[in-house]
Structure 1
Amino acid sequence: MRWTVHGSRDVYASEWVRVSLDDVEIPGAERIEHHVVHFPRSSVTGVVTDGNDRVLLIWRHRFITGAWGWEVPAGWAEPGEDLADAVRREIEEETGHRPGPVSVMTEYNALSGISDMQFTAFLATGAARIGPPSDPGESSRVEWVPLSEVPGLAARGQIQDGPSLTALTYYLAVARHR
């Protein structure tokens, strides 16, 4: 069943996010107001692998959840920036490694029930260390982690970031076998 949008009004806007209150009708039900979070820029994630069955991860603290965890490099594309260039930039900034060739693994909606946030998950094959991460606030450490350890890290709650879980799971289940 398809919901019908009868109108939308912004209730908050900044350069990072816009929140609208939409007037929607659900077939067979009454009309409701539904909050929608809009993101003005595309988001990218990068699964960086090497020739030794390892993946490059960053260990970081997220103040919003109060949690530490492993993540893949990720971020927003700048307006007009090619998404492949954006993921290369994010990998360098967050890890201090220059990635090898990058290719799109998949595209997905991160929170399709409340948001229009779009992610493009890339695979980067190989990376060369060029120095420390250029933004020290992005990670506490950067490590090559054996791919065989990723499921265990996720099971123990050490990978809680949704975009990281999605990109790593997609890589392990689909892209790795192409």
Structure 2
Amino acid sequence: MNNKFEEKTIKTDTIFEGRIITVQVEEVELPNGSVSTREIVRHPGAVCVLALKGDRMLVVEQYRKALGRSQVEIPAGKLEPGEDPEAAIRRELEEETGYSCVQLRRLHSFYTSPGFADELIHLYLAEDLKAGEARPDEDEFLEVEELTFDEAKRYIAEGRISDAKTIMAVYAWQVYRITGEAQ
């Protein structure tokens, strides 16, 4: 990868350290030699899963304080330090929906907002689900739904699904439905 636009860090100040994120302000030298600042959110990364139960996708509805409303999303969660993404998605799928799966297939990894955050999300496909009992975290209040493809598209149009990971999963599902290959 070409680094001709690299910004060299001169100084880093951590201004907030929370349970999930750290916020840093970095003073950087730009490629032309001038100096600027960058505000960066550091995140441990996350996983999410397109879990297909026959011709339906599992989603969870939960309140998202940052949005001030409920949101319908695919099952997801943050990575613990050093945790393997596949192990994390198995944990999250079972905790949030009660389902487990034999095989997972990694579809994509993507950055949520590289202009200011380093959060990397790993998207997996899970099929051949086996029902169990959900065990959400004590501060998680959610409801599991099973959506058809048309319902998922309608939820996007209505804004009930509006997060990037779930929209990406719906379009990956569309490609899978058309081509028979998960990409």
Aligned to 2:45: 42
**1:18 counterpart (19, 22, 33):** 22
Distance 1:126 1:105 in 2: 17
Change (3 A) 1:54 1:97: same
CA deviation string 1:8-47 (max 9, x = no partner): 31222234222111223444584211101111x2310011
The Cα offsets for residues 114-139 of structure 1, whole Å up to 9 and x where unpaired, read as 01101100000132221244436434
TM-score by length of 1: 0.86
Alignment of 1:95-114 (within 5 A): 95-114=97-116
- In structure 2, the residue corresponding to 1:138 is in which secondary structure? coil
Query: What corresponds to 1:65 in structure 2?
Result: 67
Name the CA distance, whole Å, in 2 between partners of 1:67 and 1:97.
Answer: 26
1:76 is aligned to 2:107: no
What is the 5 A alignment of 1:27-38? 27=31, 30-38=34-42
Q: Residue 7 of structure 1 aligns with which residue?
A: 10
Q: Secondary structure at the match of 2:81?
A: coil
RMSD: 2.3
d(CA) in 2 for partners of 1:22, 1:59: 36
Q: Which runs of 5+ in 1 are unaligned?
A: none
Q: Name the counterpart of 1:150.
A: 152
| Structure 1 residue identity aligned to 2:145 | E
Counterpart secondary structure, 1:135 = coil
CA contact (8 A) 1:91 1:98 kept: yes
Q: Does 1:55 align with 2:57?
A: yes
Displacement after TM superposition at 1:164 (Å): 2.0
The structure-2 alpha-carbon separation of the partners of 1:3 and 1:82, relative to structure 1 and needing over 3 Å to count, comes to closer
CA distance in 1, matches of 2:84, 2:157: 34
1:76-118 deviation digits (Å, cap 9, x = unpaired): 1222322111101001111112234111000111110001101
- Long gaps (5+) in structure 2: none
Aligned positions, number? 176
Matches within 5 A, 1:119-158: 119-135=121-137, 137-158=139-160
Percent of matched pairs sharing the same residue: 25
